[in-house]
Amino acid sequence: MFEEAGEAAAVVRRQLAANQIAVTALAAQLRAEPPRGALTCARGSSDHAATFGKYLIETRLGVLTTSAAPSISSVYGASADLTGMLAIGISQSGKSPDILSAMRAAKQGGARTLALGNTADSPLAEEADTFLPLHAGAELSVAATKSYIASLAALLHLVGEWAGDGEMLEALHNAPALLGQAWAADWSPMVERLANAQGLYVIGRGLGFGIAQEAALKFKETCGLHAEAFSAAEVRHGPMALVGPDFPLLVFRQGDETADGVDELVAEVVARGGDVLVSGGNVPGAIQLPHPAAHPAIEPMLQIQAFYRAANALSLRRGFDPDRPPLLAKVTETV
């Protein structure tokens, strides 16, 4: 996990260069024939990348984006009219039966299909109208790291070109250098605070929500630590009842329109005597976790990169092997 997460900067640099022509062509096609909506099909870390994609596509392009529940096609055998939709499948292996089923149903229902994957000779890649390779290289650790960051980069690249957002694209092209800095960031306060923790919430809002989901998964998978992800708004609708000195929050805050609301939540929890670890912002009383400054759409990628290093350290500290989580295999195939 440590070694592979550390390769993320090189992966993103390689991917941006290798995919430029294909991404430009796809973006031109999407601008010429805009989809009426997008449907994401993914599981686990890839599904969390899809959450990031939803916020990116809806905020930058105003195209409604929703997540497919694969069982609708794989178990219920039901289908929907997806004429004019873009179905985006994200999968490292490209062969989980339920994701394949959802993508096949989308195609039969009239959608254009796009696969983001790490394996070109997979059914997902072969059956999709367009395949964008992630170029993450072999990922052997059960916990996805560089492939997750590669998925975020591919989504940023596509949406940046599709929306013609030059500022975001420029920031993305600077991301490899910043990922290197993020990898060196000192998140040891997180490792200290969570060494003996029983559970926590991971908070994000908007573009940061997908990385909150991803961090919560890593806590469970590699650290034997129960963690649940909530949006900074959702957590106030009930879950806050658990928050206190023995139930900390890890908060991912990016410098966009969501920042003030996230700061308010952090200040409120600090005032109640709760422990809050925060990446981004500067609320007094919260434990700050650093990451390099960047465009708000790039920040989540940098935050999760800094987090991965700390999650690896926390896993070891809690007596786990981050590369061999109990009861899990690298490729999970569900129906």
Applying CB under 6 A, the residues found at the interface with ligand GLP are: 43, 47, 67, 69-71, 98
202 near 252, Cβ under 8 Å? yes
Q: How far is Cα of residue 218 from the mean position of the Cα atoms in its chain?
A: 12
CB of 163 to ligand GLP, least distance (A): 23
CB 226 within 8 A of CB 274: no
Three-state DSSP class for residue 287: strand
**How is 179-209 classified by DSSP, letter by letter?**
HHHHHT---HHHHHHHTT--EEEEEE-GGGH
β-strand pairing of 85-91 with 112-117? parallel
- Identify which of 300, 48, 283 has the alpha carbon closest to the alpha carbon of residue 182: 300
50 vs 302 by CB, closer to ligand GLP: 50
Which CB sits closer to ligand GLP, 41 or 178? 41
> Smallest distance, Å, CB 326 to ligand GLP?
22
Least distance in Å: CB of 34 to ligand GLP? Answer: 24
CB of 70 to ligand GLP, least distance (A): 4
* Cβ atoms 324, 87 nearer than 8 A: no
Tell me whether residue 54 or residue 291 sits nearer to ligand GLP (CB atom).
54
- Return the number of the residue (67 or 181) whose C-beta is nearest ligand GLP: 67
What three-state secondary structure class fits 227? strand
The rounded distance, in Å, linking the Cα atoms of 173 and 175 is 5
Q: Which is nearer to ligand GLP, 96 or 315 (CB)?
A: 96
- Shortest approach of ligand GLP to residue 184 CB, angstroms? 33
Which residue has its beta carbon closest to ligand GLP?
71
Q: What is the dihedral of CA 322, 324, 329, 332, to 10 degrees?
A: -10
Query: Closer to ligand GLP at the Cβ: 98 or 139?
Result: 98
Structure tokens belonging to residue 93: 């292996």
Nearest distance, CB of residue 102 and ligand GLP, angstroms: 8
